[in-house]
């Protein structure tokens, strides 16, 4: 398979040909647009695309892909650009295909509780549409106001409700995709039951645009939860969090179970726009959410809290009594990523099975403490599904490149530990470019070989997001 690079702006005739495929003004080459659309939330790679193209129809996407094949041009998909693995970064002169104008909700089926969306529909847009229909789209995360469905599907995004509702994959009823040859495929046709061979829909979910571009998705909706209620609990140590999870899961159907460290909380409270949950200082905190659909459920939650206090697993806690308090408690967790971005954190998004989390975290902590004694480390994550976010904050006296280089040295030991626990080097952020050199810690050589073979079938000329998942 050929991997392609188009040198930036060396062939103006190609750009002029690209302009004929879309509406006037929908190809941009100015420096500000190249910088804005050529990157995501990562800061590891400098954006260097040749052009940004904005299709409005599936036919235009097909035309762009055929043009790219003809002229050996590499394409990079761009959604909300909220990714954290450089999966949407165009660093080598590629043409960025931005789906901002393919942002329509096309159809709703009240009987199947499904909604047909173009790839550029923003997550919050779908959530509000579902709410208007008395339903619920449960895949949720801090970037829901800007992330797009195409990107969510490309990375199989998870978020804060996975313990109850699963990943994006669980909510995709059907897909329309444009392959690397420009062919349009309609996958699964929104069926619940379909036993007709390979489910190619699942190949495109999590493929990061390396097989083709998602242009439409039929998403399933759920009944709206009733009286969501949150509790924030302070624990004396990390090991206490797991018995707390077990105690509440035995009594309640949790919709979320998150954790964060005192250092993460301190960064949030220093902003001054979120009140503390309570006065007691604790090294770790758990945030759990459930439907308090009856008084009995709320009473059971309080009784479980009291049991955890009696066992010494919880030092203090609070339960939301209003929608505003629910939102404030969630801000203590959801504002962490945005707040620590000021320190240019080096992020690891890793996962193991839930039961292995305490031993795994202690092993990783020992590596971090031994190798980063002068770096501030912030832990948080979706502990109810085994997903931990390890964030190492950049000291002011180090340049970004020096800091990332120091962190990369320790990756080998971190990922060897992930491998020891049969875990994942990327739980929910995708592989992109930041994790591609470490894929072998989570995938066997045989698996990687089959993955490359699948890419060659759908994208024989290697034009679809090259350099992502696999090294060039």
Token pair, residue 188, equals: 């699964």
Token pair, residue 398, equals: 């180090």
Residue 233 and residue 199 share a domain: no
pLDDT for res 85 = 95
- Backbone dihedral angles phi then psi of residue 187, each to the nearest 5 degrees: -110, 125
Write down which residue in 283, 315, 337 finishes a domain: 337
Q: How far apart are CA 64 and CA 75, in angstroms?
A: 9
Asked if 120 contacts 101 with a C-beta cutoff of 8 angstroms, the reply is yes
Q: How far apart are CA 284 and CA 236, in angstroms?
A: 7
Q: What is the DSSP string of 296-360?
A: HHHHHHHHHHHHHHHTTS-SEEEE--SHHHHHHHHHHHHTHHHHHGGG--EEEEEE--GGGHHHH
Residue 407 and residue 307 share a domain: no
Residue 239 and residue 202 share a domain: no
Which three-class secondary structure state does DSSP give residue 243?
helix
Residue 422 and residue 378 share a domain: yes
Write down which residue in 198, 223, 248 finishes a domain: 223
Residue 180 and residue 123 share a domain: yes
For 95, counting Cβ atoms within 10 Å of its Cβ (0-12 exposed, 13-18 middle, 19+ buried), the class is: buried
β-partners of residue 258 are: 287
Write down which residue in 223, 238, 266 finishes a domain: 223
Q: Classify residue 292: in a domain, yes or no.
A: yes
Q: Classify residue 63: in a domain, yes or no.
A: no
Q: Classify residue 322: in a domain, yes or no.
A: yes
Q: Is the dihedral of CA 116, 117, 119, 123 positive or negative?
A: negative
Q: Classify residue 92: in a domain, yes or no.
A: no
Q: How far is CA 435 from CA 189, 312, 371, 392, 415, in A?
A: 33, 39, 20, 16, 10
Q: What is the DSSP letter of 450?
A: H
Token pair, residue 9, equals: 């702006």
Q: Provide the domain limits for residue 408.
A: 344-430
Residue 235 and residue 219 share a domain: no
Please give the tally of structural domains in the chain: 3
Closest CA to 203 of 240, 169, 252: 169
Token pair, residue 230, equals: 């949150």
Q: Report the alpha-carbon angle 455-152-221, nearest 5.
A: 120
Q: How far apart are CA 463 and CA 213, in angstroms?
A: 11
Residue 309 and residue 240 share a domain: yes
**CATH number reported for the structural domain that contains residue 409 in this entry:** 3.30.70.2740
Residue 122 and residue 147 share a domain: yes
Q: Show pLDDT as tens, one digit a residue, over the chain (472 residues).
A: 444 544 444 578 999 999 999 999 999 999 999 999 999 999 889 999 999 999 999 999 999 999 999 999 999 999 999 999 999 999 999 999 999 999 999 999 999 999 999 999 999 999 999 999 999 999 999 899 999 999 999 999 999 999 999 999 999 999 999 999 999 999 999 999 999 999 999 999 999 999 999 999 999 999 999 999 999 999 999 999 999 999 999 999 999 999 999 999 999 999 998 999 999 999 999 999 999 999 999 999 999 999 999 999 999 999 999 999 999 999 999 999 999 998 999 999 999 999 999 999 999 999 999 998 889 999 999 999 999 999 999 999 999 999 999 999 999 999 999 999 999 999 999 999 999 999 999 999 999 999 999 999 999 999 999 999 998 8
Q: Classify residue 321: in a domain, yes or no.
A: yes
Q: Classify residue 363: in a domain, yes or no.
A: yes
For 360-422, where are the E strands, in sequence order?
Answer: 376-382, 387-393
User: Which residues are CB-contacts of 84 (< 8 A; sequence separation ≥ 6)?
Assistant: 40, 41, 42, 347, 349, 429, 430, 434
Taking the alpha carbons at both ends of the chain, their separation in whole angstroms is 10
**CATH number reported for the structural domain that contains residue 261 in this entry:** 3.30.70.2190
Q: How far apart are CA 66 and CA 46, in angstroms?
A: 27
Q: Classify residue 262: in a domain, yes or no.
A: yes
Question: How far is CA 272 from its chain centroid?
Answer: 27
Q: Is the dihedral of CA 80, 83, 87, 89 positive or negative?
A: positive
User: Which residues are CB-contacts of 365 (< 8 A; sequence separation ≥ 6)?
Assistant: none
Asked if 81 contacts 40 with a C-beta cutoff of 8 angstroms, the reply is yes
Token pair, residue 257, equals: 């179970």
Q: Is the dihedral of CA 121, 123, 128, 133 positive or negative?
A: positive
Q: How far apart are CA 50 and CA 180, in angstroms?
A: 19
Token pair, residue 90, equals: 């165009």
Asked if 18 contacts 64 with a C-beta cutoff of 8 angstroms, the reply is yes
């Amino acid at each position: 398979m050929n991997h392609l690079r188009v040198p930036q702006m060396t062939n103006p005739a190609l750009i002029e040909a690209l302009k004929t495929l879309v509406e006037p003004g929908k190809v941009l080459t100015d420096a500000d647009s190249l910088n804005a659309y050529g990157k995501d939330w990562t800061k590891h790679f400098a954006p260097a695309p040749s052009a940004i193209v904005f299709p409005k129809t599936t036919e235009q996407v097909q035309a762009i892909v055929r043009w790219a094949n003809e002229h050996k041009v590499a394409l990079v998909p761009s959604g909300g650009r909220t990714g954290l693995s450089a999966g949407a970064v165009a660093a080598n002169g590629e043409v960025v295909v931005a789906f901002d104008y393919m942002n329509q909700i096309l159809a709703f089926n009240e009987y199947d509780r499904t909604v047909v969306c173009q790839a550029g529909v923003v997550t919050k847009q779908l959530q509000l549409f579902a709410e208007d229909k008395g339903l619920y789209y449960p895949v949720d995360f801090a970037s829901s106001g800007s992330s797009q469905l195409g990107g969510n599907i490309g990375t199989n995004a998870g978020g804060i409700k996975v313990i109850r509702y699963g990943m994006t994959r669980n909510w995709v009823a059907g897909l329309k995709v444009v392959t690397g040859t420009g062919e349009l495929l309609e996958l699964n046709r929104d069926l619940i039951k379909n036993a007709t061979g390979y489910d190619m829909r699942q190949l495109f979910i999590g493929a990061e645009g390396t097989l083709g571009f998602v242009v439409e998705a039929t998403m399933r909706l759920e009944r709206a939860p009733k009286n969501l209620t949150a509790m924030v609990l302070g624990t004396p140590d990390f090991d206490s969090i797991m018995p707390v999870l077990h105690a509440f899961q035995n009594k309640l159907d949790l919709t979320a179970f998150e954790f964060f460290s005192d250092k993460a909380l301190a960064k949030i409270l220093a902003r001054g726009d979120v009140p503390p949950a309570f006065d007691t200082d604790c090294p770790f905190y758990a945030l759990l959410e459930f439907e308090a659909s009856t008084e009995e459920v709320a009473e059971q939650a309080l009784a479980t809290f009291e049991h955890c206090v009696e066992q010494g697993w919880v030092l203090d806690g609070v339960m939301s009594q209003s929608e505003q308090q629910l939102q404030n408690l969630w801000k203590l967790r959801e504002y962490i990523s945005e707040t620590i971005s000021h320190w240019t954190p080096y992020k690891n998004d890793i996962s193991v099975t839930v039961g292995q989390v305490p031993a795994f975290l202690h092993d990783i902590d020992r590596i971090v403490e031994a190798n980063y004694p002068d770096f501030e480390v912030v832990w948080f994550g979706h502990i109810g599904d085994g997903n931990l976010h390890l964030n190492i904050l950049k000291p002011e006296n180090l340049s970004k490149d020096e800091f990332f280089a120091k962190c990369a040295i320790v990756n080998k030991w971190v990922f060897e530990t992930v491998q020891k626990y049969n875990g994942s080097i990327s739980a929910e952020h995708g592989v992109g470019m930041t994790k591609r050199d470490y894929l072998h810690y989570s995938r066997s050589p045989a698996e990687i070989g089959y993955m490359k073979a699948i890419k060659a079938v759908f994208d024989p000329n290697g034009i679809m997001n090259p350099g992502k998942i696999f090294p060039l």
